[in-house]
Amino acid sequence: MAGFSELGFLFRLLPVFLIIYFAVPARHRESILLLESFIFYAFGEPVFVLLLIGTTALNYYLGEKIWKPGGVPCIYDRQIRRRKVFLRCAVGMDVGILAVFKCLSVFVDSALLPLGLSFYIFKMISYQIDMYRQEISDKPGWRQTALYFMLFPQVSSGPIMRYAEGGFGSGRQRSLKGLEDGLKYFTAGLGMKVLLADRLAILWNDLQMIGFQSISTPLAWLGAAGFSLQLYFDFWGYSLMASGLMVMLGYPFILNFNDPYASRSISEFYRRWHVTLGKWFRNYIYIPLGGSRCDKKRMVLNLAIVWLLTGIWHGSGMNYLLWGGVVGLLIILEKTVYGKYLQKIPVLGNVYVLLLIPLTWVVFAVTDLGQLGIYFGRLFPILGGAGIAVNRQDIARYLQSYSIYFIAGVSLCIPAMNRFWIKHKDHPLVVILLVIVFWMSVYMQSNSAGNPFMYLKF
């Protein structure tokens, strides 16, 4: 599949898709977009595109059995039981398909995990539960349902938009303003991915090549900060590009990141990070389990289940389970022990987040638990066990090489910068800056192999 930052997508697929989409009459636009989405996915997954089509058809059929107009109560017990049976069949099927392919990718071959499976399966589960809850007022047709599941800007890595958020079936209006705004979002995301995330990725790759046992403590901390920014701008960049494409096509902008590094607690951080995934787990796992409206023991269990599932969703390695467990434990401690103090002293909360989040991302990044232990031995030499660093002055060289990327990255994490961009994105100077960012990104892509988006593997 051609990634959004690849030159083939930028100069071939995207222009052709947009020209055809805007050239056809409005009544055929959804059909054309569905065909384009099928072609886009088939480029990367010529075999697993059949899985996408099959699950789409089955979910549409089961959704028809579940749907009931909003505000119309179910009077008969038989009708209630029938809808519950179809809901269980739909969710059970979707969860089963996801579990089977996750297991195949772990125990047989990683190539057996279809691209975007976790994202479009989550949308299918969301669709069925929203149908059961009567939160989808108009009965979806086949075209609208298939388009919701297969939309090419979202099919590979989200965001996980709910059906009711997309305005499916209402028709898309041509808008030069929408096209212009979408291009601006897309270009900003492209710059974050190519000019920041891909450059910071070189630092983390260097540390792996050198060996964690050979780096100094300052460089280990720089690497942890660098990986944190790399992951952030990689996925924020992707989300802006995907949402920009949606805006170009006439759909609403879906916010997936909301200045997470300005948070004052870990729980607030994850309300702002990957917003649509967090809402999915909250709406379809945490709240149905009882959420926080229960006794303290039950709330702790609910949080533990959610973060265990979050770790499993991200990957099969023990480090992902450990990462989910660590984050879940921190959030539980905030809810039950010290969270109120973080809220009373905002600066303390900010420092707490900026210190702990990079440490949790190290757990996320290092898949080998032995190497993870060595890295933490470097971060905290008082723990011992990591040996003596080969070059204690390595930090100076890497600071010289990467300081500009850290300065740019930290600046873009400041909420005021984001507010300034939103307010002035139509200003001629900002437009000129975006043009420069676009062509710099193209230049960097043409002179490198390019890195796939990090969340594509999830």
Task: Please state the separation of Cα 254 from the chain's center in Å.
Answer: 12
What are the backbone angles phi and psi of residue 233, rounded to the nearest 5°?
A: -75, -25
In whole angstroms, what is the distance from residue 73 CA to residue 259 CA?
41
In whole angstroms, what is the distance from residue 287 CA to residue 208 CA?
40
Name the catalytic one among 28, 314, 424, 427: 314
Q: Identify whether the C-beta of residue 129 lies closer than 8 Å to the C-beta of residue 162.
A: no
Structure tokens at 336: 């039950």
In whole angstroms, what is the distance from residue 227 CA to residue 136 CA?
40
Q: Identify whether the C-beta of residue 24 lies closer than 8 Å to the C-beta of residue 32.
A: yes
Q: Compute the chain's Rg from CA coordinates.
A: 23
In whole angstroms, what is the distance from residue 11 CA to residue 26 CA?
25
Give, as one character, the DSSP assignment of residue 108. T
All residues at 6 or more sequence positions from 242 whose CB lies less than 8 Å from its CB, including other chains: 4, 153, 154, 157, 158, 159, 189, 254
All residues at 6 or more sequence positions from 124 whose CB lies less than 8 Å from its CB, including other chains: 55, 56, 59, 90, 94, 149
Q: Is position 424 annotated as part of the catalytic site? A: no
Q: What SS3 class is residue 360?
A: helix
Q: Is 274 exposed, middle or buried (0-12, 13-18, 19+ CB in 10 A)?
A: buried
Structure tokens at 146: 């298939």
Task: Please state the separation of Cα 296 from the chain's center in Å.
Answer: 30
Give which of 387, 333, 340 is closest to 356, Cα–Cα: 333
In whole angstroms, what is the distance from residue 327 CA to residue 267 CA?
9
In whole angstroms, what is the distance from residue 7 CA to residue 12 CA?
8
Q: Identify whether the C-beta of residue 232 lies closer than 8 Å to the C-beta of residue 365.
A: no
In whole angstroms, what is the distance from residue 451 CA to residue 441 CA?
13
In whole angstroms, what is the distance from residue 319 CA to residue 325 CA?
10
Catalytic residues: 314
